[in-house]
Amino acid sequence: MKPFNVYFCILIAALMLSCEKSESKPVYHSDRETATEINRRLGRGINIGNTFEAQPSWQSSFDADDFREIAELGFTHVRIPICWEREDRSKSTSPYTIYAEFLDTIRFVVDAALKNKLHIIINMHHHDALMADPQGQKARFLSQWQQIANYFKDYPDSLLFEILNEPHDKLTPALWNEFSEEALRTIRKTNPRRCVLLGTAEWGGVSGLKYLSIPSDEYLILTIHYYNPFQFTHQGAEWVEGSEAWLGTTWNDTPEERKAVKEDFKLALQVSKTKNIPVHIGEFGAYSKADMESRVRWTRFLSRWFEQQSFSWAYWEWNAGFGIYDPHAKTYKTELVNALLKDPMP
């Protein structure tokens, strides 16, 4: 080979190498990047509460047009709490069949959200029998996940599954680690790459995180509920005994109040970093018995702060006691909508 050709070849090889180098991206585990990316896409969401998780006596009706409004406001996902355990929806004895009609109802809801370009989380909510008798109800719990996962297996990645809302009572932290891992294994048989949200024991809050064992899985998102200070967010809540005495509690966005929030999330931030798992705030909200100014301050600070931490979030909730929308008057609580979606961090 002539010296010119040799130099030419070396030059080409060097160019190819340098091109390869400049084009090569940092090596992330591509699957993990997907969970983080999907959590980023979840962004700002809202819970369709008091609807499919409710008992008939307190169930709000569902209006698929609400999803259009929700998307137009600027939300990017909806969380749909669902009680599959209700006797009109599934069999309580083996083979624990979820009735086709109810699965079709949920498919209608999922499709309506997707049509509006909303991501959607479906879960298991108010499974009281499971909380009261975990071992006795385990087969039913796993069978229901097997059926739901199979039914939705061909859906796009903008549909996410959340294993269980707020484990508590006899479903202890140790049992929750066992049950959630088994449910995940069941889901993975038909949905190997679907993003799954994993909550914490002891009612889903920050305090249950220290007990949580996080399975090694590329498509997990950690989900946490936040209602602190509870005496502020749940003042006058009819379902919380003694909460009448908390009426009048305010939240003033003081440095101390902000510091308490940051303290509460210390472990979550640490776990997210060390385990490389993205975080979603699945519920946060202050009940309508609190004064509106405090609710706005609390909601605004938290939404902006969650975003600063790269947490996605879903406000509790759309149109009931914590709601931002009055379905009868068809009006919004504009201050709360702005606090969630428009106001900057004060």
**Binding region for ligand BGC (CB under 6 A):** 53, 125, 165-166, 283, 316
Report the nearest approach of ligand BGC to the CB of residue 316 (Å). 6
325-326 vs 331-332, strand pairing mode? antiparallel
d(CA 290, CA 294): 7
Comparison of 219 and 325: residue with beta carbon closer to ligand BGC: 325
Contact 48, 317 (CB under 8 A): yes
Comparison of 123 and 191: residue with beta carbon closer to ligand BGC: 123
Comparison of 143 and 243: residue with beta carbon closer to ligand BGC: 243
How many Cβ atoms sit within 10 Å of the Cβ of residue 263?
11
Long-range contacts of 183-190 (CB under 8 A, 24+ apart): 183/141, 183/142, 183/145, 184/215, 184/217, 184/220, 186/142, 186/145, 186/146, 186/149, 187/145, 187/149, 187/161, 187/163, 188/217, 189/146, 189/149, 190/146, 190/149, 190/150, 190/153
At 52, list the tokens: 């499919």
* Active centre residues (catalytic): 166, 283
d(CA 271, CA 199): 13
Q: How far, rounded to the nearest angstrom, does the alpha carbon of residue 227 sit from its chain's CA centroid?
A: 15
Comparison of 41 and 86: residue with beta carbon closer to ligand BGC: 86
Largest interatomic CA distance in the chain: 94
Contact 325, 332 (CB under 8 A): yes
Report the nearest approach of ligand BGC to the CB of residue 125 (Å). 6
Comparison of 227 and 311: residue with beta carbon closer to ligand BGC: 227
Contact 239, 287 (CB under 8 A): no
Comparison of 217 and 283: residue with beta carbon closer to ligand BGC: 283
SS3 119: strand
Closest by CA to 315, choosing from 282, 292, 343, 279, is 282
SS3 16: helix
Report the nearest approach of ligand BGC to the CB of residue 106 (Å). 17
Bond before 317 cis per omega within 30 degrees: yes
Comparison of 55 and 135: residue with beta carbon closer to ligand BGC: 55
Report the nearest approach of ligand BGC to the CB of residue 241 (Å). 13
Report the nearest approach of ligand BGC to the CB of residue 36 (Å). 26
Report the nearest approach of ligand BGC to the CB of residue 153 (Å). 27
| N residues, the chain | 346
Report the nearest approach of ligand BGC to the CB of residue 51 (Å). 11
